[in-house]
Amino acid sequence: MGLSVGIVGLPNVGKSTIFNALTAAGAESANYPFCTIDPNVGVVAVPDPRLQRIQKFIPTDKVIPASVDIVDIAGLVRGASKGEGLGNKFLANIRETDAILMVARCFSDENVIHVEGSVDPIRDIETIELELILADLDGVERRLKRAQSAAKSGNAEAKAEASLCERLTAHLGDQHVARSLPMSDDEAALLKTLNLLTAKPVLYCCNVDEDSLPDGNAYSDLVRERARVEKAEVVVVCGKIEEELSTLEASEKLEMLQAYGMTEPALAQLTRACYKLLGLQSYFTAGVKEIRAWTVKVGATAPQAAGVIHSDFERGFIRANTYALADLEEYHTEAAIKSAGRMRAEGKEYVMQDGDIVHFLFNV
Domain identity same for 170 and 190: yes
pLDDT at 36: 56
Candidates 238, 176, 196; CA nearest to 97 is: 196
In a domain, residue 231? The reply is yes
Q: Are residues 82 and 137 in the same domain?
A: no
| 287 falls within a domain | no
- Same-domain pairing of 64 and 14: yes
3-state SS assignment for residue 103? strand
CATH number at residue 171: 1.10.150.300
pLDDT at 349: 98
Q: Is residue 147 part of a domain?
A: yes
Would you state the pLDDT for residue 37? 59
Q: From 197, 225, 255, give the residue that closes a domain.
A: 197
pLDDT given at position 28: 46
Indicate whether 39 and 18 sit together in one domain. Answer: yes
- Asked whether residue 162 falls in the same domain as residue 258, the answer is no
Are 205 and 78 members of one domain? yes
Kindly compute the dihedral angle of the four CA atoms of residues 205, 210, 212, 213, in this order, to the nearest 10 degrees: 70
Domain that holds residue 272: 4-118+199-277
Contacts with 261 (C-beta within 8 Å, 6 or more apart), sequence order: 213, 214
The arithmetic mean of pLDDT across residues 50-60, rounded, is: 97
Question: Which alpha helices (DSSP H) does the chain contain, by range?
Answer: 15-26, 49-55, 87-95, 121-151, 156-173, 185-194, 218-230, 239-245, 250-259, 266-277, 302-309, 311-315, 325-331, 334-339
Query: Given 214, 244, 277, which residue is the final one in a domain?
Result: 277
Is residue 286 included in any domain, yes or no?
Answer: no
What is the number of other CB atoms lying within 10 angstroms of the CB of residue 157? 11
Give the pLDDT score at 298.
98
Asked if residue 203 and residue 185 are part of one domain, the reply reads no
CA atoms within 13 A on the CB side of 285: 16
- The verdict on whether omega for the bond into residue 265 sits within 30 degrees of 0, i.e. cis, is no
For 167, other C-beta atoms within 10 Å of its C-beta total 16
Residue at 124 is within a domain: no
Give pLDDT tens digits for 162-197. Answer: 999 999 999 999 999 999 999 999 999 999 999 999
The CATH code of the domain that includes 312 is 3.10.20.30
- CA angle (71 as vertex; 68, 72 as ends), nearest 5: 140
Minimum mean pLDDT range among 66-75, 267-276, 327-336: 66-75
- Give the closest residue to 102 by CA, choosing from 27, 197, 240, 242: 197
pLDDT of the residue at 176 = 97
- At 230, which CATH number? 3.40.50.300
pLDDT band at 336 (very low <50, low <70, confident <90, very high): very high
Taking only Cα atoms into account, the Rg of the chain, rounded to an integer number of angstroms, comes to 23
What pLDDT is recorded for position 38?
61
Domain identity same for 31 and 138: no
Cβ-based neighbour number of residue 314 at 10 Å: 19
Confidence of residue 32 (pLDDT cuts 50, 70, 90): very low
Is it the case that residue 27 has pLDDT exceeding 70? Answer: no
Would you say residue 250 lies in a domain? Answer: yes
Specify whether 175 is located in the same domain as 213.
no
Residues 32 and 111 in one domain: yes
Tell me if 290 is assigned to some domain: no
CA distance 284 to 355: 7
For the segment 114-153, what is each residue's pLDDT rounded down to a tens digit?
A: 777 899 999 999 999 999 999 999 999 999 999 999 999 9
Q: From CA 240, how far away is CA 230, in angstroms rounded?
A: 28
Residue 285 domain-assigned (yes or no): no
Boundary-marking domain end, from 149, 181, 197: 197
Is residue 24 very low, low, confident or very high in pLDDT (cuts 50, 70, 90)? confident
How many domains does the chain contain in total?
3
pLDDT digits (tens, 9 = 90+) for 275-332: 999 999 999 999 999 999 999 999 999 999 999 999 999 999 999 999 999 999 999 9
Rounded CA separation 57/207 (Å): 39
Residues 87 and 230 in one domain: yes
343 plus 321 within the same structural domain: yes
Distance CA 320, CA 307 (A): 12
pLDDT at 39: 59
User: Which pLDDT value is given to residue 1?
Assistant: 56
